[in-house]
Amino acid sequence: MKVLDWENLPVFFGPRELATFMGICINKAYQLSKSNGFPSMRIGRNIRISRDGLRKWVEMQIEEDLASQNK
């Protein structure tokens, strides 16, 4: 498994790069990009995801998961 650094990601990127970075299928990347609270935006017909927003979103997901496990 290749480990990527957050700083190696561009500031904004698309669902294909998200799929590669997160190790998920492209369909799941598109689903995530359309979900509430996910750091994505539409620019014309393109979906763009914020690197810094994604990092915060991932950290929040981890915290929520840990909190639910500790209940």
State residue 67's pLDDT score: 87
Any idea which architecture 8-69 has in CATH? Answer: Orthogonal Bundle (1.10)
Confidence of residue 5 (pLDDT cuts 50, 70, 90): confident
Q: Where are the domains of the chain?
A: 8-69
Q: Which residues contact 22 (CB under 8 A, 6 or more apart)?
A: 29
Radius of gyration of the chain (CA): 13
The pTM for the full model equals 0.83
Question: 47: helix, coil or strand?
Answer: strand
Residues 23-60 pLDDT 10s: 999 999 999 999 999 999 999 999 999 999 999 999 99
State residue 1's pLDDT score: 42
